[in-house]
Structure formats: C-alpha cells, structure tokens
Chains A and B, each alone.
Chain A
Amino acid sequence: MKNNNWKKILKDPYLVAGGIITGLILLMIIVGFFWMPYEPTKMNAAEKLQGASLRHLMGTDNMGRDIFSRVMYGSRVTLMIAIGTIIIGAGVGTIIGAITGYYGGMLDEITMRVIDALFAFPSILLALVIVSVYGIGWVQLLVSLGIAFVPSFARIVRGEVLRCKNMDYVENARLQGVSDIRMIFVHILPNIKGVMASSILIGFNNAVLAEAGLSYLGVGSQPPYASLGRMLSDSQQYMTKSPSYVLGPGIIIVLMVLGFAFLGEGIRRWK
C-alpha cells in the first residue's frame, strides 16, 4: 500500500518537480545555517562584480561580496518571514474566523465588514501602512505581512465553520453538552485541515512574493544584511555588466515559489 503510494507520487510530474525544487532550496537554506562559502557581509574590493565562476558560484556584487552566500542568507530570511507570516495570518485568522463563524450575530457582522474592507485592500498596501507607521525593519515587515494575511484566512475558516456548524455530528456533540471552545477546536477545526493545507500553500507563496516585493522597495531587512528583494534592487544598475548578480537572487525567488506551486498543483490533482 505504502509502496503503491510512492509509485503514484513518482509518476506525477508536478509532485516530482515540486519535491526536487523545494528539496534543493531547503537543502541550501539548511546548509547555510552551518556553512556558507563566504561571510555574506564580507566585502572584497579586489573582486567586485565578477561573473559566475567556481570560486563564486553566482559571482560577486558591487562591493565584492559573494552573491551565492548572500542568496543563502537572504533565502533563509525570506523563508523565515514567510513562515512567520503564515503562522500569524493563519493563527489569528483561524481564531477570528472560527469565533465569528461559530457565534454569528452582531459580532460576526461587524468583524466581517472590517475583514471585507481589509480584504479589498491589497496586502502590499496594508503592509506599507504598518511599515510607515512603525518604521522599517524585518520585525515590522513580519507583523505587517502577518496582519495583511489575516483576512483571507479568517474568511476561509469562517466559511468552513459555517458549513460544519449545522452538520449532524456537531449537533450530536452539542446535545452531549460539549463546551463551545472544545466544539470549535476539537470537533470543527480538525475537519477543515484539507482546505487549510491548500490555503497555507497558496498563502506561503504569496508571502514569499510579498516579502520579496517589500524588501525590493527597501522596507524589509536593512543593509548590510542580505535579502533577496534588496539584492535585486541593488543589482539593477549593474544588470548589463553583471547579469549573474540579477539572475542569482531572482531565480532563487522564482524557484522557491515554483517548488511550492508545483507541490500544490500536484496535491490538487491527487484528489
């Protein structure tokens, strides 16, 4: 049985490609915790803007720093912020969605109006508002992206809770005197994990793209620390002289998103 599943997974091109890409990116990030070819912030005036070579896999930047090491560090930051964003967004969103969906009434009406208004608001703008109020930096970025992702999760969870609320097994549990909190967390929420899984995959990709976009705009981690978006914005003026400076971080962002997108597509087709 287990063997069969593996065969089925290996037959699906999306799952295989997604698994390989995501695996490589994760490997790169994990290795980066223990070892990087160069110190990512170490400058070397003698080796500015070099092309890709064996010494520098992605070449060096305008300050002679090794791009590959910076990419390793930067993708770690991006991944962490994306994970943090999802934890905040999905966590807070689930609680809000579950409570408003379960209790309904006036509270639900008001919360959903606010959530709808926030949802209509592009998440990059919401993040910019928060960053502009609380200042620039990765903590602010994390919090603001997290908040920006709350509405979509709250809406999804609320919808699912509304759907499950009237099912027979919930009615049964209610007749047996199960408390509201236990009902929400033990009887209802575990049933929506399928929907949550796909929302989290999609949300993760959006978070990676949003983090990259905001750090490209210069409101993410500040120099000298590397971030993929920032590297791209720095590299732009050297794009003709040193294409590897642009392509290195850019392709890593694309692969990061693509890996998860392929996995998501594969999982969707699986069902």
Chain B
Amino acid sequence: MRYIIKKFFMTIITLVVVSFCVFLAFSVIPGDPALKKLGMEASPELVAQVREEMGLNDPLVVRYYRWISAFVKGDFGTSYSYNKPVMWLIAGKIPNTIILGIMAFLITVVVSIPLGIFTAKHENGVIDRVISVTNQIIMAIPPFFSGILISMIFAGVIRLFAPKGYVSYKDNVPGFLWYLLFPAVALALPKIAMTVKMLRGSVLDEAGKDYTRTAYSRGNRTNEVLYRHVLKNAMIPVITFLGMVLADMVAGSIVVEKVFDVPGVSTVLINSISNRDYPVVQTIIMGIATIVIVINLLVDIVYCVIDPRIRIDE
C-alpha cells in the first residue's frame, strides 16, 4: 500500500513537471498571441488591451497556474483558427483515437502472448526460427508503411474494406470497428514482434532458474511448470514493456490515423501544428502526456499485484 501511495505521489510530481514543461515550451514561442488573435492590422492600443484581457502580462507562474487549473476543470481554451473552444474541436475525435489505441493494444496482447510462449516452448525449432526472422523484418517496417501495404492488399486487391472509407461510430458501430481493425493491425504489428521476442527471452530465462527444477521435482508436467510457475515470473518484465506499448499506441496512432484517414485527435494535431494553433496543440499534447503518465501508474499497480517482492520492499 505504501508503495502505491508513493507511486501515486510520484505520478503527481511527474504530471506537474511535464505540464510545466509543456506550458513553458508554448510560452516562449516567438510571436504575440494577442496579435495573432486580432490579425496584423490591429491597432497597438487594442493589442495592449487584449493582452491585458488574456492575462499575458502576468508572471509566468501565475499564467501556468491559471492554465493548469482551467485544464484540470476541462476548460482547454479557445482555438485561434476556429475561434471555438478546443473541446468543441476535439470532442468527437477522441473516441476514434482511444478505440484505435485500445484495439491495437488488445491485438498485441492477444497475439503476442500465445506466440511468445509457443516460440519459447519450441526453442530453436523450425517455427521458432521462422518467427524470429519474421519478427526482425516486421520490427523494421514502420506502421505507416505497413498501413499502406495493408490498404494496398486488403482494400486494393481483396477489397475487405474501402480505402479511406472511414465509417463513423455514430452511424454504424460494427462498420466502424471493422474499419478500425486494419489501422489497429498496422499499429500492432511491430509491437507484436517486440513483445514476442521479449516474452520468449523472458520465459527461457525463467525456465533456466532453480525453482523450475524444484517444480519438476514435485512431479509437475512441462505445461504445468510453464503455466503454474514460469509464466507469472516471466510476465513481470513483459508487463512493464506492455505498459510502454500502450502509451506508445496513443502516440503511434497519430501516424496511422493519417494513413487510414481516421478523423482522430492526431488529424487535428497535425493541422493545428501547421496552422500554429497553439491552444489546440498544447491541449492535445498535454492530454496524451497525461494518458501516458497515468498508464505508467497503472503498470506500477499491476506490478505490485503480480510481484510480491515489491509489496514489501521500501
């Protein structure tokens, strides 16, 4: 319990540090937001007035506090380009990104864990060798290229789905999920390869340890040794890795959404970067960062459940 409280505390500190860094990054931008809002022709008096209204003359810490407390309440500011609340701009896009990320993560877990165990069980067998070379190749294919290849093959040749034919979840949920399946696979592929490689190594490491021999000496079958003894130990490093994978899915979806034309948060992000629409960029970056940091906390908690050594230490 003390461990979890400590981790929770660390998470808060990390969030503060990250949010301050994000805030700082966007407050050193050359150019005047007031001028931007009003346009180049605005009179200096008006600009000065708006600057005062926007609170741009206050000290950095005060502005940070104002921004972060509004952010926590869900007030993300106003988009420069659209003059609408940022929330209005991204609200409909969040489910796409989140569901894409979760789907890709589930695919990774469901495929890589059995495959990792299988390759470890049949170490140096034909299938194991084939899979480990395939893994190396898949890890070298960036998700946007595998996404394009998937579109070429499954939309262009086999016609399992329409290229760039995104279906909104508001209209047709199964169609929406079916369409997202393909970008999710593109996103999952390299992570599957990495997880399989890692789990295989971890299982083989654990299988060489003394407690495995003890388990055999009690009359366990190979499978019982694997599933009752080795696996839980072997999963400990893999869980950390999967936590990083889940965090990476959120960021990686940025690229894959573009490949498949999924109207997710990242489309807004990229457009806002080109338009220098900073409130939007700042909000999305901070949002993704928060998700990533919270995932890390969850990993620590899962860790604590699975590994009794952590519960006591410290």
Contact with B along A122-148 (1 / 0, CB 8 A): 101100111111001000000000000
Which positions in A face B, CB cutoff 8 Å?
113-114, 116-118, 120-122, 124-125, 128-133, 136, 205, 209, 212-213, 216-219, 229, 232-233, 235-236, 239-240, 243, 246, 250, 253-255, 257-258, 261-262, 265
The interface bits of chain B over 229-248 (1 if a CB of A lies within 8 angstroms of the residue's CB, else 0) are 00000000000000000011
CB of B18 within 8 A of CB of A232, answer no
Contact between B141 and A124, CB atoms less than 8 A apart: no
B43 CB within 8 Å of chain A: no
Given contacts A133-B26, A133-B28, A116 and B14 within 8 Å (CB-CB): yes
Interface locus among B170-178, B211-219, B268-276: B268-276
Is B99 an interface residue, CB under 8 A from the partner? no
Q: A114-B17, A128-B269, A218-B270 are known contacts. Are A250 and B29 too (CB-CB below 8 A)?
A: no
With both beta carbons as reference points, the residue of chain A lying nearest to B261 in the complex is identified as: A236
Is A217's CB under 8 angstroms from B270's CB? Answer: yes
**Closest residue of chain B to A131, judged by CB?**
B273
Q: Is the CB of B25 within 8 A of A262?
A: no
Q: B288 to chain A: which residues have CB within 8 Å?
A: 122, 125
Contact flags B172-198 to A (C-beta < 8 A → 1, else 0): 000000000000000000000000000
A198 to chain B, nearest CB (A): 15
Contacts of A239 in B (CB 8 A): 148, 151-152, 156, 163
A117 in complex: contacting residue of B18, B26, B285, CB < 8 Å: B18
**Chain A proximity of B286: nearest CB distance (Å):** 10
Tell me the nearest residue of chain A to B295, going by C-beta.
Answer: A120
- The answer to whether the Cβ of B105 comes within 8 Å of any Cβ in the partner chain is no
Q: Known: A113-B17, A120-B292. Is A132-B281 also a contact (CB below 8 A)? A: yes
27 inter-chain pairs at a CB distance below 8 angstroms, sorted by A residue, are A113-B14, A113-B17, A117-B14, A120-B247, A121-B18, A122-B252, A124-B252, A125-B288, A128-B281, A133-B25, A213-B143, A217-B254, A217-B255, A217-B270, A218-B270, A219-B270, A219-B273, A236-B259, A239-B151, A239-B156, A246-B148, A250-B145, A254-B137, A254-B140, A255-B140, A257-B140, A261-B140
Is B60 an interface residue when CB atoms closer than 8 A count as contact?
A: no
Q: Is the CB of B250 within 8 A of A122?
A: yes
Quote the shortest CB–CB distance from B138 to chain A (angstroms): 10
Asked if B80 is at the interface (CB within 8 A of a chain A CB), the reply is: no
Q: Known contacts being A243-B152, A246-B152, A261-B140, is A121 close to B292, with CB within 8 Å?
A: yes
Minimum CB–CB distance from A74 to chain B (whole Å) comes to 14
| A95 smallest CB distance to B (angstroms) | 20
Closest partner residue, chain B, to A246 (CB atom)? B148
Interface residue B54 (Cβ < 8 Å from any Cβ of A): no
Among A120, A124, A217, A219, point to the contact of B296 (Cβ < 8 A).
A120
A114 contact set on B, CB distance < 8 A: 17, 21
How far is the CB of B31 from the nearest CB of chain A, in Å?
A: 10
Bound complex: CA A206 to CA B261 (Å): 25
Closest A residue to B27 by beta carbon equals A133
B145 near A120 with CB under 8 A, answer: no
Chain B residues within an 8 Å CB radius of A229: 144
A271: min CB distance to chain B, Å: 15
Distance, CA A239 to CA B261, complexed state (A):
15
Query: Is B304 engaged at the interface, CB distance under 8 Å to the other chain?
Result: no
Contact partner, B285, options A125, A217, A250, Cβ 8 Å: A125
| A to B contact number (C-beta, < 8 Å) | 123
Residue of B nearest to A219 (CB): B273
Residues in B4-31 with C-beta less than 8 Å from chain A: 13-14, 17-18, 21-22, 25-26, 28-29
In the complex, which residue of chain A has the Cβ closest to the Cβ of B29?
A: A133
Most buried by B among A209, A219, A229, A258: A209
CB atoms of A250 and B149 under 8 A apart: yes
Q: Within 8 Å CB of A124, what residues of B?
A: 251-252, 254-255
Interface string of B261-301 (1 = CB under 8 A from A): 00000000110111010100100010011001100100000
The answer on a CB contact under 8 Å between B251 and A254 is no
Complex alpha-carbon distance, A128 and B140, angstroms: 22
A114-B17, A254-B141 known; A236-B273 Cβ under 8 A: no
A122–B152 CB distance below 8 A: no
Q: Are B25 and A217 in contact (CB under 8 A)?
A: no
Residue of A131, A132, A229 most packed against chain B (CB within 10 A)? A132
Which chain A residue has the least Cβ–Cβ distance from B259? A236
**Residues on A with beta carbons closer than 8 Å to the beta carbon of B151:** 236, 239
How many whole Å from A250's CB to the nearest CB in chain B? 4
**Complex CA–CA separation, A118 to B22 (angstroms):** 11
**Contact, CB under 8 Å: A233 / B136:** no
Question: Are A240 and B25 closer than 8 Å at their CB atoms?
Answer: no
Residues of chain A within 8 A (CB-CB) of B293 are 117, 120
Further pairs besides A129-B285, A132-B281: 4, Cβ < 8 Å? A120-B247, A120-B293, A122-B292, A124-B255
Question: Please, which residues of chain B bring their CB within 8 A of the CB of A122?
Answer: 247-248, 250-252, 288, 292
A42 vs B110: C-alpha distance in the bound complex, in angstroms? 48
